[in-house]
Structure 1
Amino acid sequence: MSLFKPSLLTLAMVAASTSMYGYAAEAEEGTTADESIEVLKVTGIRRSLQESQSLKMSSSSIVEAISAEDIGKLPDVSIAESLARLPGVSAQRLDGRANVISIRGMGPDFTTATLNGREQASVNDNRGVEFDQYPSELLNRVVVYKTPDASVMAQAIGGTVDMQTISPLAHGEQTFAIGLRGEMNDLGALNSGSDDTGYRGSISYIDQFADDTIGIALGYARMVSPNQEERWQAWGYPENDAGDSVLGGAKPFVRSSELERDGVLAVFEYAPNDFYHTTVDLYYSKFTDDQRLRGIEIPAAWGANGGVEATNTEDGLVTEGIIRGAEVVVRNDVNKRDAESLSVGWNNKFFLNDNWSVEADVALSKAERTDIGMESYSGTGRGTGVGAVDDLGFAYNGSGGYNFTHNLDYSDPNVIKLGDPLGWGSPLGANTQDGFINKPEIEDELKSFRLSAEYVFDDGAFRSIEFGVNRTDRDKTKLDKGYYLTLKGYDGTDPNYVMTVPDQYLLSPTSLDFFGMGDVLSYDSLAFYNDGNYTETDVANVDLSRATNSWGVYEEISTAYIMANIESELFDLPLTGNFGIQAVHTDQTSDGTVATVENGEVVVTPRTAGDDYLEWLPSVNLGLEVAEGQMLRFAAARTLTRARMDKMNANVNFSYNENPNDGVNWSGGAGNPELRPWLARQYDLSYENYFSDQGYFAIAVFYKDLENYVYDQQSAFDFSTILPQNPGDNPIGIVTQPQNGDGGYVQGIEASFSLDFGFFADALTGFGTVMSGSYNDSEVKETPDSDPTTLPGLSEKTFNATVYYENSGFEARVSSRYRSDFLGEVTAISLTRQNVNIKAETVVDAQVGYDFSESGIDALYGLSVLFQVNNLTNEPFTSYTGEDARHVRDYQNYGRNYMLGANYKF
């Protein structure tokens, strides 16, 4: 019986760089040392493409893969950017860099990330992993599993992204690799004290000892990356008396940031005999993002003293006009994030005999994050109607918001002074919010233990049967603190009190010429705060909703599974695959706060609540080799994605109405610690044609039948459970909280194509292309009669294309990725998260390089140089409100990043 297999070359490539125990570990079987040695001669782009293709061929699931071109060298500068080039995968940019991904139209909440098969803790408020936390230089391969099998513990409705480190024993030789690149942003240093240059470097060491029974891999990567941004941001677009949309207000600014990241990898592998194999791996990342933001806020239709005078209107939008009597707020803000991630795993395999093997795996993943989000305000007076005002002309520029003209000098420290120019808050009396600072902290810890066994049959239709148990405990907490800031020199009695910025904090003015407002006053607001110049008032003491922003969510997940692996024939054609089932029991609890207002003060009491449930998740994956090199795959599964952790909190805030119109005395808002996961039945069908070691065509269709979806709904709530001493005559009230409602479907089609033009003629050797595209559609409704819900992260269309040349040491590549409009999650006021419409974008990257190993110069053997340009066409990131794309909410111009560097391996 001839089973579907890649060639010896491509099969060996998988074995040469396979992870310790990844999902596709079966690719190692049947590979000899001589084949591995031959494989190492294939390098660069073609190595990456061939290895990725061979894994796709040999996997029992429908997968996509990215493989390193060489040690410490993935195809792109970040994991997320590489992932975004795969069929059915798209990335959302954050501060100019790819950050989170969507798979098959399902947003980051529906994607699970693993490292060497183990689920990872995350530094954000929920479960979605921010992939820029992981240095690409320390990863060997990334695999996206679009269909699960019963042995995958971290499955998700969208898909599972498994990041894999290298196996030193499978690598098979001593290797030492160094990489260094300089980096520059072409917007220049937009803020005083910022830098437009940076660097990234890495070092890796792989070796084997004791007759190749012990292997080690060590790696360190450091990045200091500059990022600059010109941002135009709008408050909104209300209607004027004529029924036309008009600018409600604006907050344009420039942002300069420096991202520092240190990553460490250590792998120890020991295989003393045919009976025992053990691997210990450690991965650590430290991440600091320091951002300085300087700009202005301009009240327009909302807040301008003289209102907005429209001078031109086009298709219902005021495109030109004058803001009369504008009181402008000058902002000097800081966003700083410190995050750490640690992942440690210990895997043990016991090969008892030719039929039985046992595997035990224990792992720990931890993540911690601390943010500082500081706002510092200055203007011409304290409170509205006090200081100097300005008449600002504005004109719609057609793409990135509005351009302005002005009269005042907003960089003059004798005109612009510290205070509360618009009376945004009164923590210590009228107009006493001179700034604000958010200090959220996140801690996430995930521990797991897995014990499984496999029995291999000597013959028959079943190759083997696997079964096992897995236990995962996850504890995630958020402490969300925020403080009003009031100048210490202000006691609330002098309504005209403002402060001139002390000279020691003044910086060179910041230019806002990109939208016509000239220079603005700039100062080191964080140093001013750290020196104790503000009085802090805890917002949780006066704001009911803020008192219920902190929470803890705890999960104990027990999974048992059994899976049969098939190796048979159907109609005399080779048939492979698996079918199995998981039983998943979840016990979830949350610690939160019950908050209400009594006598003008927020009163809080602790609350703990939760639930437990059992779900059955069957799955089947089948592959039929319909002709040589051609595979028809079918998969079906019931999949589960756990709810957002910020929705599962036990917090409740409420109020009491003595004389309600509807007879309900109690009302409020709450999280839902009893929230069930998203569930779906999904079906996949694909055809794959592999016509060479580096050439294939694939087309796939999928349908995800969502059994439920999570909506914010009003529901009855028994207030006697949180107020047992004083529930009143009718303890049943109404709260708005997330609930599992009706579902719907997500469906789509994907096509991908990879071709080395040397397949047709020797003269074209080295030229090639990789292309993919997808179309997604969805309909999800809260009730059968409601309007469809827009799914976050779903782009109707995506398209990726790479054209490359690699020959005789020379390498050149241009890559582009397109995604159509989608609903994305962004940061809003007080570091909260908000869904907004994001415009379609096409991001283009390019690189050229030369490998001196092909030059014939022995002294330069192992040295390669590389020049890269990210965001070659300077594609902006644009979001908008409502259905009119001219209602620009956010227009972000990042510029281009240039990188020049070298890699050396011996």
Structure 2
Amino acid sequence: MRTFKPSLIKLALISSGMAFSLSSIAAQEAPVADEEELVEVIEITGIRASLQKAQSIKMTESSIVEVVTAEDIGKLPDSSIAESIARLPGIAAQRLDGRASSISIRGLGENFSSATFNGREQVSLGDNRGVEFDVYPSEIMSEVVVYKTPESTLITQGIGGTIDMRTVKPLAFGKESLSFTLRGEQNDIGALNPDGEDTGVRGSVSYINQFADDTVGIALAYAHMSSPNNEERFNTWGYPDGVVGGFKPFVRSAELTRDTLMGVLEIAPSDDLQINIDALYIDFKDDQVLRGPEIPAAWGDAGITVTDTVDGFARTGTIGSDGSPVGAVIRNDVTVREADLFALGANIEYALSDNLVLELDASYSKVDRQTWSLETYAGSGRGPNDRQPETIDFTLFDGNTNVDFDPDLNYGDASVIQLGNPQGWGWGNLIDPNSDNDQDGFINTPTVEDELTTLKAAAKYVFDEGIVSSIDFGMNFSDRTKERVDTGVFLTLPGAIDALGNVIPGYRLPIPDEYRLPNVSLDFIGFGEQVAFDSFRFWQDGNYLEFDSAITDPGRAQNTWVVNEEALTFFVKANLDMEIGNIPVRGNVGVQVVQLDQSSTGSSSRRLADRTLDIQPTTGGDKYTEVLPSINLIADVADDQLVRVGIARTMSRSRMDRMNASSGDLSYSEQTNIWSGSVANPQLRPIMADQFDITYENYFHDEGYVAVAYFYKNLSDWQQQAGKLVDTSDLTPPDGQPVAPFGVLNSWNNLGEGHVSGLELSLSLSGAMFSESLEGFGGIFSATFLDSELDYTVEVPANLDGDVTTLEFSDPVPGLSEEVFNATVYYEKSGFQARVSWRSRSDFLGEVAGLSLVRQPVNVQGSDLVDAQISYDFSESGIESLDGLTISLQAQNLTDEEFVTEHSASDDTSLDIRDVQRFGRNYLLGLSYKF
């Protein structure tokens, strides 16, 4: 029987201890006699070593995978692991504040894939399961494996795939290493706010060693990042009848500070026993300041005069008039997000015999996140009756991507612009419930706590002969609890309220000198200068009265919840090694049986006549079992040519904000004369997918391969928000309104089905394949073409007699771009390295933060991002005193690509611009030194 043989490069990597995950294969397959000679002939470092290591892992995995690796710890070239993953075939990233953050696998976004750290499920900083990958520094990672097809021993699955981030194994690394990196960063758009930064620093130190005759190994790493980010944002409220409803442009300055500690302890006192312990701690802080005007237009009381219309959209006009001033709200907003992530895991493997290996794995992880999102209001007057004369001419750019304002008021004059709300946005402070002019600001302060404990017991039995080479079996238990507490307070200037609790008409407060900052420039929208002050310190010093919004806002109770999920998974996998005809076939067949127990506590709220709320506790949950079979087969159809086939049933557990037990308030609509509201669904089931994959892979060179893959996912139990009719005949409507016999309660339900299919093409080339003169040149390229459709039906009221109409809907899958392209071209020789990377994706349905930081769907326009890097390793220079030193220069977002979203969740028109974010380019100059 022919057996699958690893390539020469794979043998070299295995023998050097680089590909620790392949060490067991090397023991079985590596020829001993010529191993030293082979390693000596093909020894390489740098980019080429990373790509070849990734290629060797991709060849030997039984699942269809994509891999990114580092030739040494701390050597991945990106600021976070998200940017590294985003270059892989079939993978795309959505930017958050200019950085790659959420990851889509084959068109399925962050909520449909799972993330693991050294094979263990991860908690997340967000409100759901989706992991924000920009939290994880690339400096601590040895490799990342993206599983596109599952197998039964892969405990955490998703209908999109699984992303496993892995640290180095010190014993497999096989040598002592001490390395340092230090990089300075420059954001070329500049510090757009007077208290912003446009320079930062990143650094890391790592140490790897082995002790006690190579039976004990340690790996330690620390990474720090203080990274600036600046943004010019053009933002609109919407376009009623083609006329802009309002503007909210601003400049944002942010600094992301991240400190990471990682430790790995590996103990192998004998050939039969191996113990691995790893720990990770990340301290994450994101400080953002946003300044700019909020200008009501068609949706404002000042009115708008349109002077020119193009393609159905108002192009030029004037907001406000002498008799009806605009009332621009001058914003000095701050968002601070802090989080601590801790993860600890231990793995023990013990060989009872040559045929039987036992495994025990335990882990604990937790994240605590606190957010402060502050809004402050200032302007030329308090309320509509007290504004100074104020008009603003505007001209929208082609495509509605920016605006040129011509205001007649100087918004940089602190004697004109003072604290106080010029729009009269009011909520009633419960002392003066009839007031509509008492809100001078607001602060959202939600918290999230996510805690996860897992325990796995497994065994592997190796057969001496037969088509079943070995069998893996075991169980995994996980207990996860996620809690979100949604809090926020209305802010009122103390001087705005008299002794009786009534609002004083026209009250404003000059910004105290101790909080004043130099004016901020808004020339990118033609607005001139705007007053600036340290609003966060102003709030911290107690300069506002605070009124709990939960007293009158039912959304606070609805967005506060606890979700607990216990999952018990039994699995078995038979590993196959056989021949069909003359073709060697290997792979596996297995099944998971997953028993889930989900429960939630929350609240339901009912609005009372005095505008307060009656809040009652709620609970709910469900228990169910899912069976997930999987088959992976690899046929060695010719030398180094493989055909892979995967068939599986997978699932993605529900987003936690959809399966909580909190319910909202029923409200009466005087337009439709019915009650409506929302209710939670703690019984919400996972989304299921039956998938088929087939891939052809040709590894025609140690530095080159071509792969063609087709996949089809049949989706069921898709989640859609839909209404159901309820009897409301006993509810009392507002005065003068008719009794409604029924109402509509919206909730998330499993009611949709559909598909995702796609074709993936990938190619890796080395210049040495074509000519010796091209030695050192190379490239890796991929293209992905996707198609999707989701179909579901919803019953809606046809009339007030209780008749219903069934509506049919068809939507795209969230996070899916129909086209995704990636290309990296590199040169590496004699210590010199250069790389240029391009990644492109077409439009997709994404998610952004909306009011009260609630996630909302928007259409995201496609983008093309270009990064580059050059470096020189002085180890190749012959200068002994510089041996181990590498200098590098990186450039990110070279084309200054904008991030553009539209108001609609569907792609009805590219002119329905929500916002346009411009971040500028980032440059990093760094050095690293390795002993």
Q: How would you bin the TM-score normalised by the shorter chain? A: over 0.9
Amino acid at match of 1:293: L
SS of equivalent to 1:742 = strand
Match of residue 611 from structure 1: 622
Instruction: Encode CA deviations 1:326-376: one digit per residue, 9 max, x unaligned.
Output: 221100000000011111100000111111011000001111110000000
Q: What are the residue-to-residue correspondences of 1:862-877 with 2, within 5 Å? A: 862-877=884-899
Describe the shift of the 1:215–1:60 C-alpha distance in structure 2 as closer, same or farther (beyond 3 A). Answer: same
Query: How far apart are residue 594 of structure 1 and its match?
Result: 1.5
Measure the CA separation in 1 of the matches of 2:261 and 2:587: 37
Deviation at 1:896, TM superposition (A): 0.4
Per-residue CA deviations over 1:511-545 (Å, capped at 9, x if unaligned) read 00001001001000001100101111111100122
Please give the alpha-carbon distance, in whole angstroms, between the structure 1 residues aligned to 2:530 and 2:677.
Answer: 43
1:274 alignment partner in structure 2: 271
2:718 corresponds in structure 1 to: 709
Shift of 1:718: 9.8
Q: How big is each residue's C-alpha offset from its partner over 1:228-255, in whole Å with a ceiling of 9 and x where there is no partner? A: 000010000111xxxxx11111100000
Please give the alpha-carbon distance, in whole angstroms, between the structure 1 residues aligned to 2:11 and 2:724.
56
Matches within 5 A, 1:293-332: 293-305=290-302, 307-325=303-321, 326-332=326-332
Residues paired across the two proteins, number: 889
2:366 partner letter: K
Tell me by how many angstroms 1:112 deviates.
Answer: 0.5
Q: Distance in 2 between matches of 1:303 and 1:810?
A: 60
Structure 2 counterpart of 1:830, one-letter code:
S
Q: Does 1:623 align with 2:624?
A: no
Residue number among 582, 598, 613 corresponding to 1:588 in the alignment? 598
Residue 725 of structure 2 is aligned to residue 700 of structure 1: no
The answer on 1:689 being equivalent to 2:708 is: no
Find out whether 1:471 has 2:477 as its counterpart.
Answer: yes
SS in 1 for 2:600: strand
CA distance change for structure 1 residues 35 and 173 in 2, over 3 Å: closer, same or farther? farther
Task: State whether residues 346 and 362 of structure 1, in contact with CA within 8 Å, keep that contact through their aligned partners in structure 2.
Answer: yes
What letter is aligned with 2:306? A
1:45–1:75 CA contact under 8 A, matched in 2 = no
Cα gap change, 1:766 to 1:736, in 2 (>3 Å)? same
SS in 2 for 1:504: helix
Task: Tell me which residue corresponds to 2:437.
Answer: 431
- Superposition deviation, residue 668 in structure 1: 3.1
**Structure 1: 5+ residue stretches without partners:** 240-244, 720-729
d(CA) in 1 for partners of 2:57, 2:531: 56
Q: Which residue of 2 aligns with 1:448?
A: 454
Q: Which residue identity is paired with 1:327?
A: G
Aligned mates of 1:678, 1:505 — CA distance in 2: 51
Matches within 5 A, 1:101-180: 101-180=103-182
For the residues of structure 1 that align with 2:654 and 2:253, how far apart are their CA atoms? 35
The residue matched to 2:59 in structure 1 has which SS?
helix
SS of the aligned residue for 2:542 comes to coil
- Structure 1 stretch 628-637 or stretch 3-12: which is displaced more? 3-12
Match of 1:417 in 2: 418
Q: Against the structure 1 CA distance between its residues 42 and 658, is the aligned structure 2 distance closer, same or farther, given a 3 Å change threshold?
A: closer
Alpha-carbon distance in structure 1 between the residues aligned to 2:385 and 2:705: 69
Aligned equivalent of 1:726: none
Q: Secondary structure at the match of 2:164?
A: strand
Q: Say which is worse superposed, 613-622 or 32-41, in terms of deviation.
A: 32-41
Residues 427 and 484, structure 1, Cα contact 8 Å, conserved in 2: no
Q: Could you list the structure 1 runs, at least 4 aligned residues long, displaced by more than 4 angstroms after superposition.
A: 14-20, 22-41, 656-662, 716-719, 730-734
Structure 1 Cα separation of the partners of residues 609 and 874 of structure 2: 77
8 Å Cα contact 1:648-1:675 kept in structure 2: yes
Deviation at 1:317, TM superposition (A): 1.4
| Deviation digits for residues 749-785 of structure 1 (CA, Å, limit 9, x no counterpart) | 0000000111111100001111001011101011396
Q: Please tell me whether residue 893 in structure 1 is matched to residue 918 in structure 2.
A: yes
Q: Secondary structure at the match of 1:653?
A: coil
1:898 is matched by which residue type in structure 2? Answer: Y
Map of 1:192-341 to 2, 5 A cutoff? Answer: 192-239=194-241, 245-305=242-302, 307-325=303-321, 326-341=326-341
Distance 1:217 1:15 in 2: 20
Cα 1:547–1:70, aligned 2, differ >3 Å: closer, same or farther?
Answer: same
2-structure distance, mates of 1:478, 1:39: 57
SS of the counterpart of 2:445?
strand
Q: 2: distance between equivalents of 1:521 and 1:35?
A: 71
Distance 1:633 1:448, change over 3 A: same
What letter corresponds to residue 405 of structure 2 in structure 1? F
Tell me the SS of whatever aligns to 2:485.
Answer: strand
* SS of equivalent to 1:154: coil
- Counterpart of 2:689 in structure 1 is 680
* Pairing partner for 2:849 from 827, 833, 837: 827
d(CA) in 2 for partners of 1:57 and 1:146?
14
Establish whether residue 567 from structure 1 lines up as the match of residue 577 from structure 2: yes
Maintained 8 Å contact 1:150/1:563: yes
Instruction: Give 2:362's aligned residue.
Output: 362
Aligned equivalents of 1:616, 1:25: Cα separation in 2: 31
Report what 1:780 is aligned to. Answer: 790
CA distance in 1, matches of 2:182, 2:455: 38
Cα offsets for 1:169-200 (capped at 9, x unmatched): 00000000100000010011110121110010
Secondary structure of the equivalent of 1:343? strand
Label 1:234 to 1:25 Cα distance change in 2 as closer, same or farther (>3 A).
farther
Provide the C-alpha distance between the structure 1 equivalents of 2:25 and 2:419, rounded to a whole number of angstroms. 66
Deviates more, 1:836-845 or 1:785-794: 785-794
Paired with 2:345 and 2:878, the residues of 1 have a C-alpha distance of: 43
The CA distance in 1 between the partners of 2:793 and 2:532, in whole Å, is 52
* SS in structure 2 at match of 1:489: helix
**Contact residue 78 and residue 136 of structure 1 kept, 8 A:** yes
Distance 1:36 1:652, change over 3 A: farther
Q: Is the 8 A contact 1:5 1:58 kept in 2?
A: no
Does residue 757 of the first structure (1) align with residue 757 of the second (2)? no
For residue 715 of structure 1, report the CA deviation from its aligned partner: 2.7
Q: How far is 1:603 from its partner?
A: 1.2
Residue deviations 1:106-149 (CA, integer Å, cap 9, x gap): 01110100000000000100000001111110000001000000
AA aligned opposite 2:477: R
- Secondary structure of the 1:802 match is strand
> How many Å apart are 1:18 and its aligned residue?
6.2
Q: Distance in 1 between matches of 2:49 and 2:406?
A: 55
Measured in 1, the distance between the counterparts of 2:37 and 2:747 equals 59
Judge conservation of contact 2:22–2:57 (CA < 8 Å) in 1. no
Give the superposed CA RMSD. Answer: 2.3
Q: Structure 1 pair 29/284, CA: closer, same or farther in 2 (3 Å)?
A: farther
- CA distance, structure 2, for counterparts of residue 644 and residue 71 of structure 1: 34
Tell me how far apart the structure 1 counterparts of residues 24 and 192 of structure 2 sit (CA, whole Å): 49
Picking from 822, 825, 830, the partner of 1:808 is: 830
8 Å CA contact 1:541, 1:547 repeated in 2: no
Q: Which one-letter code corresponds to 1:157 in the other structure?
A: I
Instruction: Pick one of 521, 529, 541 that aligns with 1:531.
Output: 541
In structure 2, give the amino acid aligned to 1:889: R
The alignment partner of 1:235 has SS state of: coil
Match of residue 485 from structure 1: 491
Q: Specify whether residues 656 and 394 from structure 1 end up closer, same or farther in structure 2 by C-alpha distance, changes over 3 A only.
A: closer
What TM-score comes out, normalization by structure 1 length?
0.95
Name stretches of at least 5 consecutive residues in structure 2 with no aligned partner.
Answer: 430-434, 729-739, 795-806
**1:813-866, Cα deviation, whole Å (9 max, x unpaired):** 111100001111001111111111111100000111101011111111111110
Aligned-pair identity in percent equals 49
2:747 corresponds, among 731, 737, 741, to 737
Query: Secondary structure at 1:60's aligned position in 2?
Result: coil
